[in-house]
Amino acid sequence: MAAIELTGLTKDYPGGVRALDSLELTIADGEFFALLGPSGCGKTTILRTVAGLEQATAGTVAIGGADVTRLPPGRRDVAMVFQDYALFPHMTVTDNVAYPLRIRRVPTAERRAKAAETAGQLGLTKQLDRRPGQLSGGQQQRVALARAMACHPKVFLFDEPLSNLDARMRLEARTFLKRLQRELAVTTVFVTHDQAEALALADRIAVLSDGRVRQVGTPTEVYRRPANTFVASFIGSTPMNLLAGTVTADGHVQVGDARLPAPAAAVFLPGGTPVVYGIRPEYVRLVAGPAADAVSGEITVVENLGSSQLVTLEGPAGTVQAVIPEDTDARPGTTAHASPRPDRVLLYDPDDDGTLLAPPPPTP
């Protein structure tokens, strides 16, 4: 078993900088777990602390039920793939892949055979005698993966391993990496600032900011029910619309001059309660004319997304975005009316760290 448990994990740096703040996380055996957040949120510090490359100021790290907090990296049975792959430029692919086995004093013939076998599983048989400078970015990435796999670790730690690839190669590598992790069933912790990458790859995601966990959940959970306004604005290919509003006596929400539908749970909030009205652009549609349940405004920007368009409206309610079909006639400078899908509305507390107040009912 290779579950990872982080308890009260704190990391302070000189100058009063706190990178991790009493962090609690449990990662299940065999799980593909993503650490997601903006730069400086602490995700790489977590990874390096699990690997033993950083020492925690306080708290514990357990792998497979064993406390490894004070163990050196070589005794933790983890393998780390870095953002820049960290390959030895003077070594061949075979020697790079076999290097961890060399450190463990595995006999030369055995480690070279194991390196060839592992590299072959990743389609590198023809590159065994080449050096990193003779390989493409995708091939270098696979060499780094093969090196991590060669010693059969309990845990894989990936520090933004796809960030140096171009857009097309990233998509291919993403599919390859997910399939590989499923086949190996090795506990994997994946650091990324790319929310699309995390949503596509992970079984569960921890969204972080300022060294704290803001939400842990499946990709569906963090996308459909962000626990606070930080997660709501960070997750999604387009940011969630977050509008200032007030609950009405009959359970609607007054936003600007519009009286918008709200989740059923909103009826338990007293009339006059200030809220943040959250709705993803994907769940906003344009309607033909003014309506009580629609936000009106001037279209200021139209962005072509290929199979759809992202339109931005400016009006009394503030800035509202909607994802609309590609063939919809939407032109900057014209007036439009945007209506939210009621079953996808979320209400947040405008004060208490933007905490979720009223989610929609569960989707069947």
With a pLDDT cut of 70, the percent of the chain lying above it is 98
What is the set of domains in the chain, with CATH numbers?
Answer: 4-230 (3.40.50.300), 239-358 (2.40.50.140)
Tell me the pairing of strands 187-192 and 32-36: parallel
Q: pLDDT tens across 273-314, in order?
A: 999 999 999 999 999 888 888 999 999 999 999 899 999 999
Radius of gyration of the CA atoms of the chain, in A? 24
Q: Higher confidence at residue 5 or residue 358? A: 5
Highest-scoring range by mean pLDDT, 9-23, 142-156, 254-268? 9-23
Cα separation, 115 vs 152, whole angstroms? 12
State the pLDDT at residue 363. Answer: 52
> Quick check: 62 and 26 in contact, CB under 8 A?
no
How many residues would you count in the chain? 364
| pLDDT attached to residue 171 | 82
pLDDT tops 80 at residue 81: yes
pLDDT value at residue 86: 82
Percentage of the chain modeled with pLDDT above 90 = 63
Q: What is the pTM of this model?
A: 0.88
pLDDT band at 113 (very low <50, low <70, confident <90, very high): very high
* Spatial contact of 190 and 198, defined as CB atoms under 8 Å apart: yes
Report CA-CA distances (Å) from 259 to 220, 314, 317, 346.
29, 17, 11, 15
Q: For 283, which DSSP code?
A: G
Closest C-alpha among 273, 272, 270, 239 to residue 351: 273
Distance of alpha carbon 323 from alpha carbon 303, whole angstroms:
9
307 near 326, Cβ under 8 Å? yes
Q: Give residue 362's pLDDT band: very low, low, confident or very high (50, 70, 90).
A: low
Q: How confident is the model at residue 137 (pLDDT cuts 50, 70, 90)?
A: confident
